[in-house]
Structure 1
Amino acid sequence: MKEKVRPVRIKTVIAASLAVWMVMLSLGSAVAMANGYQGRESTKNDLGLQVKAAILIDADSGQVLYEVNSEEPLPAASMTKLMTEYIVLEEITNERLSWDEVITTSAEAASTPSDGSSVFLAQGDQHTVRDLYKAMAVGSANDATIALASQIAGSEQGFVKKMNEVAAELGLKTAIFTSATGLSETTVISATDMARLAQIILSKHPEFLDYSKLQEYKFRERDKDPIININWMLGTNVNQKGLKHLAYEGVDGMKTGFINAAGYNFTGTVKRGEQRFISVVMDTATKSARFNETAKMYNYGFSTFEKKTVLAPKSVVETAKTVKIKKGKKKTLPIVTEKDITFMVKKGVEPKIEVVSSDVKSEAELVAPIPAGTVVGTVTYKYTDAETKQELKKTVNLVTTEDGTKAGWFRLMFRGIGDFFSGLFNGIVNLF
């Protein structure tokens, strides 16, 4: 008797096939969701940024408005040049270098690999500091960067030593520089420290923006084409064919970067009205993605936050209304805050602040005459974000509101006699 063979159930086979297909599709989707360069996983965040790390801060105060994995040191690529640019500006400020100084291209600078950004310097070529700086700021030229570094420190490695010393002075705790250009993948820094460096540059050297906002720059007269600014997000690019879709109103700096280990990075800044933001995105997938992800943060910043003055200038502090002085017609002078205190707060939220501490100079330190506006102490206020619980502190000076004129000798004599008998009486009372 032959064994009966059961017919294959077509529906079962189809169902099984669909199940396998769905599993494969889900695996494929998981890979597709890795949005960094070369399929690296992005860090989850509620803005949907396709980045490994990111941060958005208020340029004036350094207040953090948004952050994603912002403390992890990551390869910086050519964003490293922000430190090189800062040091050059410091050298010029301290008159150890000048914009019109002519630099003779070193063998080290001329041998910089031309596979990255370059102005193709030859050994012995002569260019001004200004020309080399523009090539570095606009086109991220590696050879121009090395030429400047060699001029300042004798060699790239000598300059790298200086970079790390300056990073320590500025409190950039995660920064490790191993090259002046960022071509080395062992040069790392966190998004937080990169934003901090950018803030320092804009605060100390606002002239930096005169170079970073240039749309193009012709390095040599004989060059066929000018260097096009690698920062495609410049607001002025709104009229540039092929770039206007990336242009963002108010963007006027700062520095892009790319190597395989870093992906596409961008440290940017934007100003609209009284608000200026600084942003950093690290390890995005494409040249355009770094600007698209930055735009998401800018949109969030402008739509969510506003500057609000929580303490007006010349406010009286309850815990420090007056200060004692010596040898003045008056023994005390009224004092107020020198400047206002302003925070970035979420729109529609009324911020609450509290005095954390106040400190005024001792009477012995304040001897008349004392002009109005003299700094005699400080007061520190704290603002706590009700939603994030982030605590922000600001310290402002306390200043005198009127002149503390010196008393005449006759007044001082009788005041001294009065103080003597007052002290004597108190001493006698304390005996009993």
Structure 2
Amino acid sequence: MKDKVRPVRLKTVIAASMAVWMVMLSLGSAVVMANGYEGRPSTENTLGLQVKAAILIDADSGQVLYEVNSEEPLPAASMTKLMTEYIVLEEISNERLSWDEVITTSAEAASTPPDGSSVFLAQGDQHTVLDLYRAMAVGSANDATIALASKISGSEQGFVTKMNEVSKQLDLKTAIFTSATGLSETTVISAADMAKLAQIILREHPEFLEYSKLQEYKFRERDKTAIVNINWMLGTNVNQKGLKHLAYEGVDGMKTGFIDAAGYNFTGTVKRGEQRFISVVMDTSSKSARFNETAKMYDYGFATFEKKTVLAPKSVVETVKTVKIKKGKKKSLPVVTDKDITFMVKKGVEPKIEVVSSEVKPDTELVAPIPVGTVVGTVTYKYTDDESKQELTRTVNLITTEDGQKAGWFRLMFRAIGDFFAGLFNGIVNLF
């Protein structure tokens, strides 16, 4: 009897185990077992990302496409250098610094601990801003970062003050900078704010990608080997024997980071066709894991979303077809939107938008002559994602489609007389 019962029990156990396994998969069991650096628990999410925090946004609009715990401030590690890189680019664009300017290495930069990424600067060494910037962008060199920070603000601490000032200007609400390099675990920022900073860099300084996409860079002519880009996910690494398994088509930036308190972090960007995404993953378990988890988000983004123009440029707004002008041959001018409105939407979904507000300039500013193409107001549209209920708004300008020529004095005089008597007549009618 026992021999007969045993197989039945075994089948029952196997069936039950399979059922549990299937349920775990349907619930995203990977997130239950997911671990960050040194076994720290990951944050539960539907993609099974093994991260403490993550976000994926559209680079053009900033539209959030996926997020996990994206508002919690966490140690940024060397992703902090994105702010340093941004400030250097700002200094150059404002002509307070130039790429070929030579920087003499300060004692502070030379004393940077060599246990992290470094180009081993010695006090008094001289290198151009461009050389130091490339070392920072490609190899995340901490001493090169301090050298640039010292040049701009006199010391790293002075530069940290500047970093926090710029952070407020950019409205990075969670960012607290205590170092230029990110070696300090008290430097924190949320995934959402890091993605926002990355978006600002790409929008205001697209030349940034010229440096972040370099596969390698030889800092000194006498150096035996070149600095290899720490971003192993670069699309061009598909031809690199040891890195091609991590290469992802279209990746051309931006910054990795690691300290014990942060785990392995990565802020990345990828472009395919007209779509460019920005991503952030924080506290993954290994150097490769940060790229693997990022790839999951990119796969999701490209498979799920497409750009769709929901309002063409030069569209007529039903609620504001014309604007009144003063002292013109015509009393009003037709207006249209100046540009298109595009959202990232789920593939196969037809988005619906609605006008939520419009604003026209005051009469005192709408006085003829008014050239064609003059901005005379704005209109704001709202799109609501049916699935996530995320509400997105876009504001576009209203522009004139005709010249508003100034009327002659004779026309203006008779118009004034007509307006006077019309007002007088209406006043009399209102008495009764």
TM-score by length of 1: 0.92
Unaligned runs of 5+ in 2: 1-5, 7-28
Following the alignment from structure 1 to structure 2, what is the Cα–Cα distance between the partners of residues 119 and 235? 25
How far the C-alpha of 1:364 sits from its partner, in A, is: 2.2
Following the alignment from structure 2 to structure 1, what is the Cα–Cα distance between the partners of residues 210 and 276? 16
1:248 is aligned to: 248
Mapping for residues 206-225 of structure 1, pairs under 5 Å? 206-225=206-225
How far the C-alpha of 1:275 sits from its partner, in A, is: 0.2
Contact 2:34 2:49 in 1 (8 A): no
2:360 is aligned to: 360
Contact 2:30 2:48 in 1 (8 A): no
How far the C-alpha of 1:427 sits from its partner, in A, is: 2.7
Deviations 1:92-148 (A, max 9, x none): 111111111111111100000010000001111111111100000000000000000
2:332 is aligned to: 332
Deviations 1:38-90 (A, max 9, x none): 01001111101000000000000000000001011000000000000000011
Following the alignment from structure 2 to structure 1, what is the Cα–Cα distance between the partners of residues 334 and 293? 51
1:260 is aligned to 2:250: no
2:150 is aligned to: 150
Deviations 1:336-360 (A, max 9, x none): 0100000000000010111110111
Following the alignment from structure 2 to structure 1, what is the Cα–Cα distance between the partners of residues 257 and 373? 47
Contact 1:264 1:286 in 2 (8 A): yes
Please say which of residues 89-98 and 362-371 is displaced more in the overlay: 362-371
Following the alignment from structure 1 to structure 2, what is the Cα–Cα distance between the partners of residues 30 and 46? 9
Question: What SS does the aligned partner of 1:430 have?
Answer: helix
Aligned residues: 406
Mapping for residues 31-430 of structure 1, pairs under 5 Å? 33-430=33-430
2:19 is aligned to: none
Question: What SS does the aligned partner of 2:271 have?
Answer: strand
How far the C-alpha of 1:422 sits from its partner, in A, is: 1.7
Deviations 1:251-286 (A, max 9, x none): 000000000000000000000000000000000000
Following the alignment from structure 1 to structure 2, what is the Cα–Cα distance between the partners of residues 32 and 55? 19
Contact 2:270 2:276 in 1 (8 A): yes
Following the alignment from structure 1 to structure 2, what is the Cα–Cα distance between the partners of residues 353 and 30? 37
Contact 2:134 2:211 in 1 (8 A): yes
Alignment-mate amino acid for residue 203 of structure 2: S
How far the C-alpha of 1:31 sits from its partner, in A, is: 13
How far the C-alpha of 1:429 sits from its partner, in A, is: 2.9
How far the C-alpha of 1:412 sits from its partner, in A, is: 1.1
Following the alignment from structure 2 to structure 1, what is the Cα–Cα distance between the partners of residues 65 and 150? 38
Please say which of residues 413-422 and 396-405 is displaced more in the overlay: 413-422
Alignment-mate amino acid for residue 126 of structure 1: Q
Deviations 1:354-386 (A, max 9, x none): 111011112221111111111111110000000
TM-score by length of 2: 0.92
Following the alignment from structure 1 to structure 2, what is the Cα–Cα distance between the partners of residues 373 and 232? 47
Question: What SS does the aligned partner of 2:206 have?
Answer: coil
Residues 416 and 282 of structure 1: is their aligned pair in 2 closer, same or farther, counting only changes over 3 Å?
Answer: same
Following the alignment from structure 2 to structure 1, what is the Cα–Cα distance between the partners of residues 50 and 71? 17
How far the C-alpha of 1:32 sits from its partner, in A, is: 9.8
Residues 421 and 255 of structure 1: is their aligned pair in 2 closer, same or farther, counting only changes over 3 Å?
Answer: same
Residues 32 and 360 of structure 1: is their aligned pair in 2 closer, same or farther, counting only changes over 3 Å?
Answer: closer
Alignment-mate amino acid for residue 242 of structure 1: G
How far the C-alpha of 1:33 sits from its partner, in A, is: 2.6
Alignment-mate amino acid for residue 125 of structure 1: D
How far the C-alpha of 1:34 sits from its partner, in A, is: 4.7
Residues 30 and 90 of structure 1: is their aligned pair in 2 closer, same or farther, counting only changes over 3 Å?
Answer: closer
Alignment-mate amino acid for residue 392 of structure 2: L
Unaligned runs of 5+ in 1: 1-10, 12-28
Following the alignment from structure 2 to structure 1, what is the Cα–Cα distance between the partners of residues 30 and 308? 43
Question: What SS does the aligned partner of 1:396 have?
Answer: strand
